[in-house]
Structure 1
């Protein structure tokens, strides 16, 4: 029995995102094939979201009683990028729930209109001490709403 291949998502443009922020490639990002290895795209996603949350969402990594844990992530690749390419990450909130948020993220070459790669990243917000899901705090929810 064969398993059907999932449909490839449409390639997104910058217009699909509410916020664009720079992402620096590093020499170590390149693999033996001369392009950024797939694992680094997940790091770019994490860096883009964490940077935005610190700047706009009031996240204090050392002190916040509520933290976001990554529970799901995925990526579709359309074209290779490589160090020393200047990249930018587009971020939009695709779904804002009671205790979770799903981000859609695009990785663009600087000035490129279409994403070189795109994917999603899901945070579930938990109490730092108990690690149990909690409602997204009001200040953070308001900031995330700006990305929706």
Structure 2
């Protein structure tokens, strides 16, 4: 779940991406608009997907995303997005993610990513090599 306590800690994540908070990301209240967090999480998911995509005959789709907003970001600087793989299914896997600005955890998310065969546009089983790689991205226990 996106509200899982371990997702709040930087130490949980093995995979990191960065994005920049732009002036256009902010709203009238001067903080990052809630819709922008989905973009930050996408930045990190795409990086993960590019690392693990098994080949040109398949692609990943996001089937579900749940975001919990935890704190305001007001500073126009970089954010770090941590990603962990929290579950692996037959045709999909689940990610736990968090957006950090410094030590501040501003939002967490849970996403379900499905591997799809390009020719049929239907879910396909995760290849064993992909499953093995995904297990290396499990949350750091501690």
Q: Normalised by the size of structure 1, how large is the TM-score? A: 0.81
Flag the structure with higher strand content. 2
Is the 8 Å Cα contact of residues 91 and 104 (structure 1) preserved in structure 2? yes
Q: Normalised by the size of structure 2, how large is the TM-score? A: 0.84
Counterpart position of 1:135: 125
Shift of residue 74 of structure 1? 0.8
Q: How many residue pairs were aligned?
A: 135
Partners in 1 of 2:48 and 2:75 — Cα distance?
Answer: 23
Counterpart position of 2:106: 116
Shift of residue 44 of structure 1? 1.0
Alignment of 1:1-148 (within 5 A): 9-10=4-5, 12-54=8-50, 56-57=51-52, 59=53, 64-110=56-102, 112=103, 114-148=104-138
Shift of residue 21 of structure 1? 2.2
Partners in 2 of 1:88 and 1:103 — Cα distance?
Answer: 16
Is the 8 Å Cα contact of residues 45 and 121 (structure 1) preserved in structure 2? no
* Runs of 5+ consecutive residues of structure 2 not aligned to the other structure: none
Shift of residue 80 of structure 1? 0.8
Instruction: Find the structure with the greater CA-based Rg.
Output: 1
- Please give the secondary structure, in 2, of the residue aligned with 1:116: strand
Counterpart position of 1:3: none
- Deviation string, structure 1 residues 47-91 (Cα, Å, up to 9, x no partner): 10111222x32x38xx72111111110111111113513210111
For structure 1, which segment, 126-135 or 138-147, has the greater mean C-alpha deviation from structure 2 after superposition? 138-147
Is the 8 Å Cα contact of residues 49 and 60 (structure 2) preserved in structure 1? no
- Runs (4 or more) in structure 1 with deviation over 6 Å come to none
